[in-house]
Amino acid sequence: MSNSYRFNGLDDPVEELAPKAAAVGACVAASYVAHFPLLGLIVPRLLELGGVYVCGKAVGRYADAGSVSLKADLVRVGDEAGDIVKSVLGK
């Protein structure tokens, strides 16, 4: 059965958007888990330190924005996150 439904130029919007939405949902779930009572002593600090590391890497990468593009990098990360979710779900 062929689905000929198109939305904003996407052949199958559910296939394109659902994995990225699931990756965002996993990040939100990880944030809630990080604030469980016993894990709340250690995990939030580790997440903060990870954020400092990522921020430093981003400043180093985009400070001289000659050939790199934040938009292109965000699209690539979204696609990679979607691919990870698809591989976990077995699609």
Question: Can you tell me the distance from the alpha carbon of 29 to that of 85, in angstroms, rounded to the nearest whole number?
Answer: 14
Question: Can you tell me the distance from the alpha carbon of 7 to that of 9, in angstroms, rounded to the nearest whole number?
Answer: 5
Please tell me the predicted confidence (pLDDT) of residue 6: 65
Closest CA to 58 of 69, 47, 44: 69
Please tell me the predicted confidence (pLDDT) of residue 5: 61
Please tell me the predicted confidence (pLDDT) of residue 86: 78
Please tell me the predicted confidence (pLDDT) of residue 53: 93
CB 78 within 8 A of CB 17: no
Please tell me the predicted confidence (pLDDT) of residue 4: 57
Please tell me the predicted confidence (pLDDT) of residue 22: 84
Is 18 a domain residue? Answer: no
Q: How many domains does the chain have?
A: 1
Is 1 a domain residue? Answer: no
Q: What is the pLDDT along the chain (91 residues), one digit of tens a residue?
A: 455 566 666 677 677 777 888 888 888 888 888 777 777 777 778 888 998 998 988 888 888 767 777 788 888 888 888 788 778 777 6
Is 17 a domain residue? Answer: no
Query: How many other CB atoms sit within 10 Å of the CB of residue 79?
Result: 13
Is 44 a domain residue? Answer: yes
Is 81 a domain residue? Answer: yes
CB 80 within 8 A of CB 72: no
